[in-house]
Amino acid sequence: MMKKKGMLAGIDVSATELVVAGVRDGTPLPLAHFANDSSGHKQLIRWLTKGGRTAQVGLEATGVYSFDLALALHRAPRVAVMVINPRVIHDFAKASLQRGKTDAIDAVVILEFTTRMPFVPWQPPPPESLELRLIARRIKALTKMLSQERNRLHAATQSAEGSQLVCRDIEVNIRHFERRIAQLSGQAVAVIRQHHYLREAFDHLLSVRGIATASATQILAELTVLPSDMTVRQWVAHAGLDPRPFKSGTSVNKPARVSKAGNKYLRAALYMPALVAIQHEPNVRAFYEKLIAGGKKPMQANVAVMRKLLHSIYGMLHTHADFDGEKFFAMAA
């Protein structure tokens, strides 16, 4: 029986859609489109392996949008995935004299790269990193539910029509959420303490005045699954803290806004540590006050502190060093 030929594909990944350029058994296929969610990933895998074929797939490392797709492809039988640094794809497109940039063009460029360059299969983060991220995100979800229940309790106690039975039920649920959060938090720290590289990074995070156990867990859980070759600028973009120009209709030359097109969990995990650091870390406070004196609004200055704090964390984890406030201010100046 003749062995079936394989499939080559390049995928351009966006927040909601996957644009796929493919070659099946040497024959180019029309561009295919799939939703960037679990259902779309299953449809894509069926399309790639149609007829029992094997598939080699290339895609860009676009952080929060590509990670779950890469995991799904890695776990799929008969599929090998290569996750490519965006800078490498950019340089490849430039060397190929590719001037345009659309999702379709990007998918074709990625396919061309996957076809012509040595195929290096992607290896997912270690199981403990994935486990930590799952626990941390569950803690985040339960914390949101806890906040909602506390708000309901406050509303119920303020209402003239409030029911003691309902209030007691909400109080029971609040205690239940608190116990579950405490239990999961302890399990997250246990995972961290069992692995040297996680423990070392965790301790460096705790050296920042403003980052305690809860926020360190959330920050580390999101950072430890990122590719080791990502630059600090890619970290910032991944968190959605990169400034983007705002131009729309007659509204031109407005101040740049943060994109918020990134990992909302990491962005949220940095928010409170930045506020606390502004209050209690002299060099961070000096940077914040400098921004305010320069005309920045408080929220703009807070976001700038979050961004520079992420820069500091990048340096700390890559140089295996604790936080240095003077370096923070010098870097931010």
| pLDDT per residue as tens digits for the range 280-332 | 999 999 999 999 999 999 999 999 999 999 999 999 999 999 999 998 888 76
Does residue 73 contact residue 81 with C-beta atoms inside 8 Å?
A: yes
pLDDT tens string, the chain, 333 residues long: the values are 334 468 999 999 988 899 999 999 999 999 999 999 999 999 999 999 999 999 999 998 776 678 889 999 999 999 999 998 777 888 888 776 665 555 578 899 999 999 999 999 998 999 999 999 999 999 999 999 999 999 999 998 887 676 889 999 999 999 999 999 999 999 999 999 999 999 999 999 999 999 999 999 999 999 999 878 788 988 998 888 977 654 444 445 555 556 566 788 999 999 999 999 999 999 999 999 999 999 999 999 999 999 999 999 999 999 999 999 998 888 765
Whole-number pLDDT of residue 4? 47
Does residue 86 contact residue 101 with C-beta atoms inside 8 Å?
A: no
Query: pTM of the predicted model, to two decimals?
Result: 0.77
Find tokens 């002299």 and name the residue: 282
Angstrom distance (rounded) from CA 198 to CA 186: 15
Q: Write out the DSSP string of 268-301.
A: HHHHHHHHHHHHH-HHHHHHHHHHHHTT--HHHH
Whole-number pLDDT of residue 247? 46
Find tokens 């120009």 and name the residue: 245
The tokens describing 190, both together, are 């246990």
Angstrom distance (rounded) from CA 132 to CA 214: 13
Angstrom distance (rounded) from CA 309 to CA 284: 9
CATH number 3.30.420.40 is the correct assignment for the domain at 7-116: yes
